[in-house]
Structure 1
């Protein structure tokens, strides 16, 4: 079910059992978003290496125990159970919201601190919990900013091409709640019943001016983009991808020019902190490409956990009790957790948010369209 433990930094050389271990949940195989998982893991591993270069956790090496979730909620929940039994001090990571929700529920049930790196679903747990904290912004905040961009650009008739999922349904609801009171209309198109060609017919029939991709990557997102871009009836339709499908190099490799000018959300500031600029350089070398915001989320996750473990020890209950005491310089700003109305976990409330796209004139370059 899972990969073998993956030691990082000086922890790899220690066999006396003294390492402080953190479980890492990462999608590394399909149907998970593998490229996102690779970036997340690169950030986690870089931070672990740097923690160990700085004498670890009170002289003990920090070690990652990596588990591949493959975007499977049941697999993630089982991994949390296993990691708890292995004695990890905390669990970190995960990119997919529905998977992170399963991991958070199990972490809460077994009393294991979980710092979620990348999953934005507002309802990460059904009830408020002290065991879970999150670095990325809640979906409602980011997608409201995206709705503002749509209206500012003159789009009031929005079609969403969606697959069945709690995450996509929540996104549709947020968009409708934001757009409807301001004169907008949201039309749902069920991609479990439509082919890309049939979707194009629906868009033309309903006279939508924007199409949002609330679907998986690369399928069916890539075939949809190709179909819409090649349909002359839809030449003026804006394509958007609030969940961030165009962030990664695979998108540009598969779609070329067709993948440009598709706005998406990412969680970066206009300027990285000095720490972020240094980390960006190292991550670029490790990944052999520009690091995505997900890589910075991974780095910041370990940075926060290392600070907590150094300050409060490795007892799980003390770690969970320390979330409101966190005050750490990350790659994207100062990280502090608080209770946010409507959010059931400890939340970094000031995560930077941008809406960006790939520049049609230079698809490897990103343009910042909106920030919040």
Structure 2
């Protein structure tokens, strides 16, 4: 018998977040090497068929059709929520299991389905934890510099509802740096969140905000996780420190997590991001499911890098969900931008 093929969808070219795609794929590749070294799936090696989505939903949906035609046993991956939604819809239509590794948009599918599961937390879960951190730090009146798009619009709604329940407010702005600075200077916002793509327009916005003397002391936040990646630090230097973001790691890694972290460090030549752990966990889950007598997500029990993984049906979420991965709010330390500080956990 031939290899067990898993179709992988990841952003590996612009306008996708390249480092996220590379980290996600790197984690998957490490897990495949380990699974195959241990005998594969029922004696068959695992093989990844990788397709670059370039953050394009139509391109990703076409790749799903191609991969299904090649006979993949399952689909995995994707970082961008709107792309993962297109993948999930097409996978469901074609009857191919899809494990979403990193995308968080609550409405991953238009209707409930047993064919799709997700490792990353739903946006409503993680972003409420982010809102809790802001409230605990005394920020009740926020501004968001935001682009159009389902993911950013959903994030704004989540934050607005969460802060309103605590007497807070959210001012919605555009992405022109000069206009954003002027609006913030005239507002009562104590924090501005960047709900934008990376590197543009996030990087020009940070530079403008840091350079405006009227905004000294204003907190800049990026819940979508842009500061996690080395490109953020390379482009912004010290200006990119002190920007809280969400990442999905425990406060302390287990022995398994630490071993995988060491292996990923050797593979990347630097500390892995949480996205690489999502990649490793994804392949490990699929290998366990494809090697069992059942293909039901509810029957999966796996020890992942960030804790025990099992899937549940969560109210309001139409796919099988790991509820929940560990969540941190972290930032880059202003005293050492290469070091991360954990500010809040949930």
Match in the other structure for 2:287:
306
In the TM superposition, what is the alpha-carbon distance from 1:350 to its structure 2 partner? 2.2
Match in the other structure for 1:263:
244
- Give yes or no for contact 1:359–1:367 (8 Å, CA) kept in 2: yes
Distance in structure 1 (CA, Å) of the matches to 2:70 and 2:254: 35
Alignment of 1:214 with 2:195, yes or no, is yes
Alignment of 1:70 with 2:42, yes or no, is no
Q: Deviations over 1:212-265 (max 9, x none)?
A: 000000000000000000000000110000000000011001000000000000
Alignment of 1:284 with 2:265, yes or no, is yes
Out of 184, 190, 193, the position equivalent to 2:174 is 190
Out of 52, 57, 70, the position equivalent to 1:86 is 70
- Give yes or no for contact 1:246–1:262 (8 Å, CA) kept in 2: yes
Match in the other structure for 1:345:
319
How high is the TM-score relative to the length of structure 2? 0.99
Distance in structure 2 (CA, Å) of the matches to 1:51 and 1:181: 47
Out of 301, 304, 309, the position equivalent to 1:327 is 301
Match in the other structure for 1:4:
none
In the TM superposition, what is the alpha-carbon distance from 1:100 to its structure 2 partner? 0.2
- Give yes or no for contact 1:264–1:356 (8 Å, CA) kept in 2: yes
Q: Which contiguous aligned blocks of 4+ residues in structure 1 show a shift greater than 3 angstroms?
A: none
Q: How many residues align?
A: 346
Distance in structure 2 (CA, Å) of the matches to 1:279 and 1:182: 40
Gaps in structure 2 of 5+ consecutive residues: none
In the TM superposition, what is the alpha-carbon distance from 1:58 to its structure 2 partner? 1.1
Distance in structure 2 (CA, Å) of the matches to 1:138 and 1:204: 33
- Give yes or no for contact 1:267–1:352 (8 Å, CA) kept in 2: yes
- Give yes or no for contact 1:93–1:298 (8 Å, CA) kept in 2: yes
Gaps in structure 1 of 5+ consecutive residues: 1-16, 313-317
Out of 115, 118, 121, the position equivalent to 1:134 is 118
Q: Deviations over 1:45-96 (max 9, x none)?
A: 0000111001111111100000000000001111111111100000000000
Distance in structure 2 (CA, Å) of the matches to 1:184 and 1:151: 9
Distance in structure 1 (CA, Å) of the matches to 2:92 and 2:10: 19
Alignment of 1:165 with 2:149, yes or no, is yes
Out of 74, 87, 92, the position equivalent to 1:103 is 87
Q: Give the match's secondary structure for 1:208.
A: coil
Distance in structure 2 (CA, Å) of the matches to 1:273 and 1:79: 36
Match in the other structure for 1:358:
332
Match in the other structure for 1:294:
275
In the TM superposition, what is the alpha-carbon distance from 1:275 to its structure 2 partner? 1.2
Q: Give the match's secondary structure for 2:232.
A: helix
In the TM superposition, what is the alpha-carbon distance from 1:207 to its structure 2 partner? 2.8
Q: Give the match's secondary structure for 1:296.
A: helix
Distance in structure 1 (CA, Å) of the matches to 2:206 and 2:326: 28
Match in the other structure for 1:177:
161
- Give yes or no for contact 1:273–1:330 (8 Å, CA) kept in 2: no
Distance in structure 2 (CA, Å) of the matches to 1:344 and 1:210: 33
